[in-house]
Chain A
């Protein structure tokens, strides 16, 4: 493994922050391995994204605006990534640990006969080997895994794990030839966006999450959303809130939901059962607001405020907005 390849996930040119995190780190890893860093940008809107990626420490951006990327499910993406990896030669492929990133990674692992480590938060080149740090068993274990394959490695990287750092110049954009025709069996008939424009939960620097203590769907809109907006963050929920139908399941944090690692996590009316804890325990700072001083969330929060969330949250939102107003 010498080179590093980043799969630049996007939807019609609209990129996820994790793509820039990967592009920032790729250069560093490649330098340590003595190789080059590349990104692969596919489908409609890629030219636009490639332009943005020129600000990152990459050597080559492989690009193809092939419309098949949006017409067929995943198969063309796997083909193109395999093609890019064959061009680069022995390399480490970085893929965002997102819903579609995971689907791509398992297949690419087989195509490249690669070693794979998932949900990685740190990549440490070590005497020719690549060691990956990743939490397992819901964060109960932090493992260090070495990729044993000399040729290819595939890792999925947890969003918010790497810092975004622009640098570099002289990135060279190369058209990636369409791989020889394979048949694409799964055709996409309709592609519907819901809740567009909202920050992806896993990538948000701040998450404001609500639980059973909120008592219904309205407080998610009236209490949590304004606070999240003031902090530049996203709204999440506990399983209890998702099960009750107060919020869609894609906001659920914890076991069978999403794992988030924001800089700041604010838990409102969430008791902090293990099933929630596993999805947020690696957050930078954890603040909880709860009526019950004895709720388990107090055991792993940096600050627990015992009180009425319905009164505290609006005041907090005001304080933050005022502070922001004073700065601008």
Chain B
């Protein structure tokens, strides 16, 4: 079985982001690029499926990433993926979600796979729209938010989380799957994995290889970023020391009453 996992590299979610007041751009210095956390869970799911299926099952990483950052994918290879394919092209810069999904789908069409595993969200742009959009472009069944997956012959059985519980769902392969965080904590790369990852292949695809029939990048986008700004400053508020339960409770109650919240 061939599994492809999409991975995005994002600014470290645990770093405080700020806007440079002069340039009005995101300050990147000191903010490293990491694997999108949701995609780590997708990769973990793929690696678990590979271990269970055994045999000649392979896990390939696919990423749309600037050429200068693609080495960041070694971390995913160190976790246990077999190889990586990247779509890198300067002309992709500024692509919105519609253009991104279109370009990704075109590149994914050049790969063969039985299962495409995608993280449910990205930490930076958080549209959550890419998995569904890929499924539409590629004509794949789309099963989202999986917490348990069984491959049964040429089909797939999935337990998926909903807002109010869970569902069991089945469908044919090939399919697109997104994973819930309850699938299991992403594994750490072993030393052996880290050493081995250095030799694994990261192949590149450019837009020229794809012959797209619509423009991508900023000019091919259907949305236009007009402006961005930091959120309103949230200053430090009052601090009250409470020596006992009642005085603490009273302080909160009075505060809420002053704001007409109780």
Contacts and interface: CB of A to CB of B under 8 A. Distances in A.
A325 interface: no
A187 B252 contact: no
A107 B128 CA distance: 11
B222 A312 contact: no
Contacts of A311: 244-245, 248
Given A147-B222, A305-B251, A110 B165 contact: no
A106 B130 contact: yes
Interface in A71-125: 73-75, 97-100, 102-107, 109-111, 113-119
B90 interface: no
A274 B14 contact: yes
A147 B186 CA distance: 37
A255 interface: yes
A281 B246 CA distance: 28
B224 A315 contact: no
Interface stretch (A20-28, A45-53, A192-200): A192-200
B222 A148 contact: yes
A49 to B, nearest CB: 16
A303 B182 CA distance: 34
Contact of B262 (A102, A135, A323): A323
Interface stretch (A55-63, A138-146, A166-174, A211-219): A138-146
A307 interface: yes
Given A189-B168, A264-B261, A315-B246, A106 B131 contact: yes
A148 B224 contact: yes
Given A103-B132, A103-B144, A304-B240, A255 B13 contact: yes
A249 interface: yes
Classify the interface of chain A: helix, strand, loop or mixed: mixed
Interface in B213-249: 221-231, 234, 236-249
B169 A186 contact: yes
A75 B176 CA distance: 13
Interface in A126-153: 131, 135-149
Given A116-B222, A186-B142, A186-B143, A98 B163 contact: yes
B134 to A, nearest CB: 8
Interface in B186-214: none
Contacts of A313: 249
Contact of A109 (B120, B133, B261): B133
A119 B127 CA distance: 7
A213 B144 CA distance: 34
B256 interface: yes
Interface residues of B, number: 89
Number of contact residues on A: which range applies? 35 or more
A11 interface: yes
Given A156-B128, A315-B245, A142 B229 contact: yes
B17 A140 contact: yes
A200 B97 CA distance: 27
Most chain A Cβ neighbours within 10 Å, of B16, B17, B127: B127
Nearest to A299: B236
A303 B238 contact: yes
A107 B234 contact: no
Nearest to B124: A137
Interface in B106-127: 120-121, 123-127
Minimum-distance CB pairs A-B, first 10: A311-B245, A106-B132, A106-B129, A307-B242, A115-B222, A315-B249, A102-B128, A140-B17, A118-B127, A312-B248
14 contacts: A73-B167, A113-B98, A113-B222, A114-B222, A141-B228, A143-B227, A149-B222, A189-B170, A274-B14, A287-B255, A300-B234, A316-B252, A320-B253, A323-B253
Interface of B: 11, 13-19, 26, 37-38, 96-98, 101, 120-121, 123-137, 141-145, 161-172, 175, 180-182, 221-231, 234, 236-253, 255-257, 259, 261-262
Interface of A: 11, 73-75, 97-100, 102-107, 109-111, 113-119, 131, 135-149, 156, 185-196, 200, 231, 249-250, 255-256, 263-264, 266, 273-275, 278, 281-282, 285-287, 289, 293, 298-308, 310-316, 318-320, 323
